[in-house]
Amino acid sequence: MERAVVMTGIGGQGIQLVAKLLAQAGMREGRQVMTFGVFKGMIRGGTSESTVVLADDEIVSPPIAPDPWAVLAMHGEELPRLAPRLRPGGVLVVNANLVPKPPAPDGVRTIAVPAGDLATAAGAPLGASMAALGALAAATGVARVESLVAALGEVLPPHRRTRIDANRACLEAGAAHVAPLAPAAAWA
C-alpha cells in the first residue's frame, strides 16, 4: 500500500520541516519513503509545498502525486488546485485559523484543526504546522505520533533542538484535538 501526502502553506510555516519529520517517522516505522519539496524564490511568504510518499513496498515512481491520498493545508492559497485532486476516501486537514471555509471534495474527509490556537495554548505559537501534523497522524495513522516525536531530534537543525519539547507539545496537542474522531486508517 502507498500513501501520498501533500503539505502546503506559505514560506515560514514549517511545511518543509513537517514533511521531513513525517518522512523520518515513516522510516522509523519501516516504511519506504520519498519526499519532494517545492518552494518559490522567497524565503518567507511564498508558496511552499512538499509531497511525502510512504509505502509498504518499494516506491517506483517519483514523489509527484497527481491524486494524493491526503493534503495538509496550513494556508488556503493552493487549496483550489489541490483539493479537487484528492482521491476518494482521502483526507484533507486544514489549519482552521487560516482556512475558515475549506473546500469539501466529494468522498474526502475534511478535518479542520485550529493549529495556531493549539500551538499557542501549548506554549509554542510558531508550532502550528506541528499541531496540524499531529492531528493528521492521529486522525489517519499514516505515522504514529510517538514516531514523529522520536524523530524530532533527527530533523531539527542543531540550533533548533532546544525546541524539541515545544514541538512535541504541539504534535501532542494536535493529536489530542482529533482524538474524539474515529480514525481513517491509512494502512490496512
Assigned domain for 165 exists: yes
Q: For residue 40, what are the domain limits?
A: 2-178
Assigned domain for 187 exists: no
Assigned domain for 184 exists: no
The pLDDT confidence band at residue 60, using thresholds 50, 70 and 90, is: confident
Of 119, 122, 89, 121, nearest to 105 (Cα)?
A: 89
pTM of the model: 0.91
* CATH number of domain containing 16: 3.40.920.10
Assigned domain for 61 exists: yes
Of the two residues 185 and 66, the one the predictor is more confident about is 66
Assigned domain for 146 exists: yes
Q: Is the pLDDT score of 145 beyond 70?
A: yes
Q: Which segment of 39-53, 63-77, 95-109 scores lowest on mean pLDDT?
A: 39-53
Span 23-44, average pLDDT: 85
Number of domains in the chain: 1
Strands 47-55 and 32-39: antiparallel
- Determine the pLDDT at residue 40: 67
End-to-end CA distance of the chain: 8
Span 34-48, average pLDDT: 76
The DSSP bridge partners found for residue 51 are 6, 36
